[in-house]
Amino acid sequence: MSPKKYREQLLDLEIDGFEIDTSTINNTMETLNQLNELEKILNKIRYNVRADIRTIRMDYMGKLKEVDQSANEKQGFLRRTKSVSQVIKEKKGLTKERNLTLATYAVVENTIDDYLDQIEQSKFYIKGSIQHRVG
């Protein structure tokens, strides 16, 4: 899935506008349940993002291997092999492309990690609020 789709999923969760209601025990427990549900969803999304990152890395490893193998093959009308500088140029291009692609996924993963940290802090606050009320 593309990073754009992941960002859309994160926006659909409406985490930025989430309000913590500790006015009553029932509201506090409901808020805690909602946070637990959000945490589960975010962990699933993060798992998928990491799986996509692994797939991208494997794809680019294959592409780099193909460039290495094609360096030894004779090509074109005169049946020449690729020059070392041409192989290096292709590898650098692929590496740059891979890094740019992975960077977009890293932004999504960092956003998810930030949300999970915020949820953890909120749960800690809510549990403290419950303990304070119960005694």
pLDDT tens digit string along 87-101?
889 899 999 999 999
- pLDDT (tens, 9 = 90+) of the chain, 135 residues, equals 899 999 999 999 989 888 888 888 889 899 999 999 999 999 999 999 999 999 999 999 999 898 877 766 665 555 566 677 888 898 999 999 999 999 999 999 999 999 999 999 999 999 888 888 776
Task: Give 42: exposed, middle or buried? Use CB within 10 Å, 0-12, 13-18, 19+.
Answer: buried
Contact 119, 38 (CB under 8 A): yes
Model-level pTM?
0.82
Q: Please give the DSSP secondary-structure letter assigned to residue 15.
A: -
Residues 6+ apart with CB under 8 A from 108: 3, 6, 7, 10, 49
State the pLDDT at residue 134.
77
Residue 85 is predicted with a pLDDT of 84
- CB under 8 Å to 95, separation ≥6 — which residues? 60, 64
